[in-house]
Amino acid sequence: MNRQLPLEVYWLGRVDYDLAWTLQNQIADEIRQGLRPATLLLLEHPHVFTIGRRGSRAHILWDDVECTRRQVILRDVDRGGDVTYHGPGQLVGYPILPLAQTGWEGDRLPQTDFIGYLRRLEDTLIALLDTYGVNAFRREGLTGVWVNLSLPGGSSLPAKIASIGVKVDRFGISRHGFALNITPNMEYWNGIIPCGLEGVRMTSLAELIAPPPTMIEAAAAIGPIFARIFNFEPSLLIDGQPLLQSLTVIHGS
């Protein structure tokens, strides 16, 4: 068995999207220089629609007036995937991991490594949901995590409960990550075509179990699962406020 490496897991609370992006870049640079171990950031965002590299503005259904009324900002981002929503009540995880071996100088990781990384993120979320008695699964050809919703008459409908979109830079360090719906206001999904999938049904833990876990409970639960699946040393949840305060760049400059 490979030696387990250290992992730091931080709970940041509710963080502005741009500030979290700045923090990801700073941590990734520190990891590249060997100044920081692999890091998992756990947080919530205020309302934001993000458009990935393969996304289209046509998949945002609300106009600027409606987005402003609902306090939603729009951001074009460099992750994979299409359009998604982040907001209060959604557990967002940003794993910043050195996926390539030390000294990697290629333009990108081999595709098998990249796909394997996505599958392990899905495995992490599926295992977390299992601890709450929720049977979750992946669907062939679709990145993310799904559950079956029961319908009248005994039938069921697959619904998406977690989205995944990542970037791996030329040094093999990951950014972006996953978003698990725990108690978000589901009305905000009406403003987009989630992941560019027409007719997709989104759901949340609050629609499946009562009571759902709090955000901090879910954050504390997912850290050990993530460490196990990615073969890191177990890590306690760390208060991320000092980390936010340590940013060496001026946000918004």
67 is catalytic: no
* Long-range CB contacts for residues 72-76, cutoff 8 Å, separation at least 24: 72/47, 72/48, 72/188, 72/191, 73/17, 73/46, 73/47, 73/48, 73/49, 74/48, 74/49, 74/50, 75/17, 75/18, 75/48, 75/49, 75/50, 75/51, 76/50, 76/51
Crossing angle for the helix pair 215-229 and 111-131, nearest 10 degrees? 130
Query: Taking the CB of residue 124, how many other CB atoms lie within 10 A of it?
Result: 26
Catalytic pick from 40, 195, 219, 244? 195
* CA–CA distances in Å: residue 172 to residues 97, 106, 219: 8, 8, 25
DSSP 14-26: E--HHHHHHHHHH
Q: How far is CA 172 from the centre of its chain?
A: 18
Sign (positive or negative) of CA dihedral 74, 77, 81, 87? negative
Q: In this structure, is the dihedral angle defined by the CA atoms of residues 220, 187, 19 and 126, taken in order, positive or negative?
A: positive
Tokens, residue 120: 């392990």
Rounded CA separation 60/76 (Å): 12
Which residues participate in catalysis according to the annotation? 195
